[in-house]
Chain A
Amino acid sequence: AQSVTQLDSQVPVFEEAPVELRCNYSSSVSVYLFWYVQYPNQGLQLLLKYLSGSTLVKGINGFEAEFNKSQTSFHLRKPSVHISDTAEYFCAVTPLRGGADGLTFGKGTHLIIQP
């Protein structure tokens, strides 16, 4: 079984400042990792994913994340945030052996951009 911990339920950041949203996971097997974003009144949208290869992954809207196997982390970063980044961000994992188990999500982090 897998579990995902997002350490911050809310992160307030000033516009144009950098941000890091933290994600740690626990699993007895190797996993693939994802970050999804949920804008107000919209469905979940994939930001980025780590399957293999380079541990630094770039996604849409200027976001990137770094996979750290030893620390079982997959933190999301953006160097300069905008008001439009205000949303709920979810970290998720799925086991390598296949998609049958679906995605296991964290509880989410609400990113609040202050002008």
Chain B
Amino acid sequence: DTGVSQDPRHKITKRGQNVTFRCDPISEHNRLYWYRQTLGQGPEFLTYFQNEAQLEKSRLLSDRFSAERPKGSFSTLEIQRTEQGDSAMYLCASSLRDPFNEQFFGPGTRLTVL
């Protein structure tokens, strides 16, 4: 068990560019969550998958944000036409199907938009 991994750990981009982040959950976990954490705040829930099905996406911050989990394993979060306000830490978490099981968090991807 290598835990939840995220790639890249850091991303610096220019305003208007598209960025994509990857999350690899713990192998037997079928639930995967994305959160955003800005400085001085707690993580903010964005979206959630059970296997390949995206069951909640109304919390995505705008239509510039999208997420996929095509084969029910790894997931990607894409931000199109980045803005300076998108600068934050993006966290991924995974858990077993029981929703009250512990969510295991990855180390996060820190995005800086110049």
Contact = CB atoms under 8 A, between A and B. Distances in A.
Nearest to B46: A102
22 contacts: A4-B42, A42-B107, A43-B91, A44-B105, A46-B102, A46-B103, A49-B100, A51-B100, A90-B43, A99-B95, A100-B99, A102-B35, A102-B45, A102-B48, A102-B56, A102-B59, A103-B33, A103-B35, A103-B45, A103-B103, A106-B42, A108-B40
B25 interface: no
Interface residues of A, number: 25
Interface residues of B, number: 26
A102 B37 CA distance: 14
Interface of B: 4, 31, 33, 35, 40-46, 48, 55-56, 59, 91, 93, 95, 99-100, 102-103, 105-108
